[in-house]
Structure 1
Amino acid sequence: MLLRFPQSIDKCDEDVLQSATVPIARYRQATAAGRRTSFITEHTLLFVLQGHKLLHIGDQTYTAEAGHLLFMKRGIYTLSEFVPGGLDYQVLLLFFTDDLLKKFLHNYGFATTKTVTAATHLVLPSNELLDSFKTQFMEYFGKRIDGLESILQLKQQELLLLLLSGPQRQEVLAFLQGIVFGQPLDVGYIVKTHLFQPLTLEELAKLSGRSLASFKRDFQQQFRCPPKKWINEQRLAHARMLLQHTDKQVAEIALECGFENIPHFIRIFKQEYGITPNADRAKKAIV
């Protein structure tokens, strides 16, 4: 199952600082080697406190270690590889919503009317002020303080101002402006890019920079078909090809094609082709 992060975080976890609606920060520790693929559901800034791990984003690989920060745009997939030499790995993660970034840029005079394209991620060197911020922020975990949510929101703004006061100011500003003021992405591009990932229509709409209603309307205009119907047709066609030309198990094929619920996959496959996946494979073998 695809891990959605930070959406999947347990709100009751003591290592999570939570607002009324969304997580603001998390402290995480990894003590065992392994791999994990995550879909980033909020813009995320990563501070490594100790140890290191390999982080694969697209065709690029980074060593996440102390001394650097990694700012990741919502909507990307990461493969985290915890390696024996990097344990004990400890990290502080801060999460930024679209609304928070938009208000920040407007309030501090960084709004722009220009179209800016945001990179998917940004690697930045740390400095003395950022290290001091990181150390102080860790003190909030496990504390019960009146007005903590407001304090944490101010700390998020402080961090953004610190990033904009450093030598990478222009890179950081372009990254933030690209997130907030970038043009909505083509719906076809978004859907085809994430076709075989188990994302909801709401998640796809958010990735495209649209409301769900606007996403459905624009998709219908472009493909002359409702998005859910088109997506299922494409996934099922690919699943049928894998059934007929590979020896992969039905459950494996379902997951590979974006279906996390195996019984649901079998049911809609039969609705589409009039036959179950296993029966379709057997029929092909006989022919």
Structure 2
Amino acid sequence: MGQIEALIFAYSDIFFSYYLNTESVCTKMVRNHSLVYIYSGEYILEENGVQTAIGAGECIFLRKDNRVKMTKLPKDGEWFKSIFMIFKRNFLKEVFQKLNKQEIPLNVERFESSIVKLPKVPSIESLFLSLTPYFNSSIKPQDDIMKLKQMEGLYSLLKIDKKFYSSLFDFNEPWKIDIMEFMNGNYMYNLSLEEIAHFTGRSLASFKRDFKKISPLSPHKWLMQKRLQVAREKIMIEGKKVSDVYLEVGFKDLSHFSRAYKETFGYSPTQKN
């Protein structure tokens, strides 16, 4: 894979992005509800082993607080270009306050998947086509215009399916979940402590306090130890290549991985015990 050339610029909570001539792959936690329109190229999302492909002219909704693998690809000789519209909690609460509560449907279930591919409807298509001139970063829209576009996107979702009410206007704080269960399932991802705290339903301070109760190690040292232990098993028992393993367990740099491995186990990952 060649070096990624990316251009990303934002106006309020609407992001315009280009990925030039190559692919970009990442796994990230979706922290806010998002509406994503693909202008060109292809967007492949994977959640729990299920892939969803989005092409030019298509749009998806991503529900917050979920981990999704994202691959951005050029296609048919065109760069990957997309528009991300973010719906943050404060914005949604502000809209909710203004809704006629008698018109809000009751007992509506949420979508099972956190990735919802939208049908091609005029309201969504016209919304994002009206935004495409702003791919030219020299043309800067006013913030109040961008907020109106967010409102347009939000109301379009509510018209498409009543299930969006359940996702968009759920203001309950996340439940606390088991820290070790979460970390054992997500140690390989590049998450900050703030993100881990958020996704386990805690403030950073309460996360650190709760972690001390279950481990003598700091969260950083625990993650390092966990990644190295799993890497050792993959190399020694499963016979995997070091060049594959260091990425699988969450290291970004091979030399850093090799150095940490040797300091921990007394020999390099290419040697047998």
TM-score (norm 1): 0.72
Distance in 2, Cα, partners of 1:29 & 1:247: 31
Structural mapping, 1:1-287, within 5 Å: 13=7, 16-19=9-12, 24-28=14-18, 32=21, 34=23, 36-43=25-32, 44-50=34-40, 52-65=42-55, 68-74=58-64, 75-80=66-71, 82=73, 84=75, 87=78, 90-106=81-97, 108=99, 119-141=113-135, 142-145=138-141, 148-164=142-158, 166-168=159-161, 170-178=162-170, 180-181=171-172, 183-186=174-177, 187-223=179-215, 225-245=217-237, 246-249=239-242, 251-273=243-265, 275-278=266-269, 282-284=271-273
Distance in 2, Cα, partners of 1:54 & 1:122: 13
Q: Considering fraction of residues, name the structure with more helix.
A: 1
| Percent identity of equivalent pairs | 23
Distance 1:24 1:137, change over 3 A: same
Distance in 1, Cα, partners of 2:184 & 2:146: 37
Distance in 1, Cα, partners of 2:145 & 2:44: 32
Distance 1:70 1:267, change over 3 A: same
Query: Helix, strand or coil for the counterpart of 1:277?
Result: coil
Q: RMSD of the alignment, in Å?
A: 3.7
What is the CA distance between 1:177 and its match in structure 2?
3.3
TM-score (norm 2): 0.75
What is the CA distance between 1:66 and its match in structure 2?
5.2
Q: Contact between 1:69 and 1:124, CA under 8 Å: does it hold in 2?
A: yes
Distance in 1, Cα, partners of 2:110 & 2:58: 23
Q: Which AA in structure 2 matches 1:123?
A: K
Distance in 2, Cα, partners of 1:177 & 1:247: 46
Query: Helix, strand or coil for the counterpart of 2:149?
Result: helix
Q: Contact between 1:239 and 1:253, CA under 8 Å: does it hold in 2?
A: yes
Deviations 1:218-273 (A, max 9, x none): 33335565432322222121122233232512x54322211224444344434433
Q: Which runs of 5+ in 2 are unaligned?
A: none
Query: Helix, strand or coil for the counterpart of 1:46?
Result: strand
Q: Which AA in structure 2 matches 1:133?
A: L
Distance in 1, Cα, partners of 2:69 & 2:259: 31
What is the CA distance between 1:46 and its match in structure 2?
1.2
What is the CA distance between 1:160 and its match in structure 2?
0.9
Query: Helix, strand or coil for the counterpart of 2:257?
Result: helix
Q: Contact between 1:26 and 1:92, CA under 8 Å: does it hold in 2?
A: yes
Q: Contact between 1:17 and 1:25, CA under 8 Å: does it hold in 2?
A: yes
Query: Helix, strand or coil for the counterpart of 2:222?
Result: helix
Distance in 2, Cα, partners of 1:268 & 1:211: 30
Q: Which runs of 5+ in 1 are unaligned?
A: 1-7
Q: Which AA in structure 2 matches 1:144?
A: K
